Each structure stands twice: as C-alpha cells, then as structure tokens.
Structure 1
Amino acid sequence: MGGRTPAVGGFDCSGLLEYAFAQIGVDLYGTAQSQYNKTILVPEDQIKPGDLVFFSTYKPGPSHVGMYVGDGKFINSNGSNGTSYSSVEEWKNLYPFLGFRRLQ
C-alpha cells in the first residue's frame, strides 16, 4: 500500500489515479477515502470513461478505487499484483459497491 509512482513496488489504487490525473494537471492526491470525498456521485446510467469507481474492500468505507474505462470495465492497481483491467460487475459480486463518482 502507498505506492504513488511507477517506480519499484508500483502503484496502490489511489496512487495510480493520483499519478494519472497529475498527467493532465489535476491534483487528486490522497487515499481512496480522500479521493471519494473530492468527488460527486454519478448515476450509473450517466457514467463516462474517466469516472472513478469505489468499493469497500478490507475496511468499511472507500478502500479501493479505480477508473472506469467503458464497456463495464475499470483499471485499478493493488501494488503487488500490478495494474489491471477488471469487471465492475465481478467486483460488485465480491465487495460492497460504493458507486461511481466524478471530479467536480
């Protein structure tokens, strides 16, 4: 946890999004929880690529975040297993889904 750069050890989930958004000049520094707090809820029928998707994994509240890329998929990272594309629906079956969110 805590990986914030593509260097050795790789990204954690929030570090991946922090890095990606920094490439376009957007400050999304922080944990999954703080990134959740910086965003607004988007109804599922209005989601777009670039929106964030949040889950509660190892603790209550937002503890995992990814970026929606379209076609029911999102990109995410957990450090040790690297960055990958995942199915939103599959994750919804595994973890409490906290919704899609967008930067204001």
Structure 2
Amino acid sequence: MASITYIDFEKVEIRSGRVVRAEPFPKAKKPAYRLWIDFGEFGLKQSSAQITSHYSCPDLIGRAVLAVTNFPPRQVADFISEVLVLGVVGPDNDVVLIKPDFEVPPGSRVL
C-alpha cells in the first residue's frame, strides 16, 4: 500500500456519531441495514452498512460509531448513503464496528 502524508490524512474527515435509528435494508444487494446517525452540530446523516452478522437493529440504537463524513453521497438501491461507517474485518470476514473507548460528543473529529 502506498504511503500518504499527514496532509493527505487531514483530508479525511472521520467523526463520532450516535445511531438513532436502524432498519433492515432488504433492497440492498448484500445484507445491510439503513442507519440514521446523529453527528451533533453536523446533523443527522444516513448510511447503508453491511453489519448484519454481528448486530441487530435494536442493538444499534444509541451505539457510538465512527464514520467518514466527507465522502460524496452514494446511491444504494433507493437509499442515499451519506457517510461511511467504519469497522474492521473480524475473524469470520464480517465487519466489526469501531467506537470510542470513552463517551465523546457526537461530531467529535478523529485526529
């Protein structure tokens, strides 16, 4: 993988958010949920997330997440995904979400 500079990294806006709504997304090509995430002063954003293996919709409500918030919106079936929720690939090749260890205000930026 190519090296980047800190200036390159600064271009990626990663912020904390809190999931306020989660629904199954049956129209997605791969199993996914539709999420609505509160980013505080940056507003409520929506995301399509392929995280159905480890999470249920009720378990996601109130959960802290990290997301890239400055990608252009992307159409996924009939839904506009505005942010990319971040996770790591777990041992079973399914996504495991990343979250802050401590409580932080929605919209806090990752440095």
TM-score, L = length of structure 1: 0.25
Higher strand share: 2
Larger Rg: 2
- TM-score of the two chains, using structure 2 as the length reference: 0.24
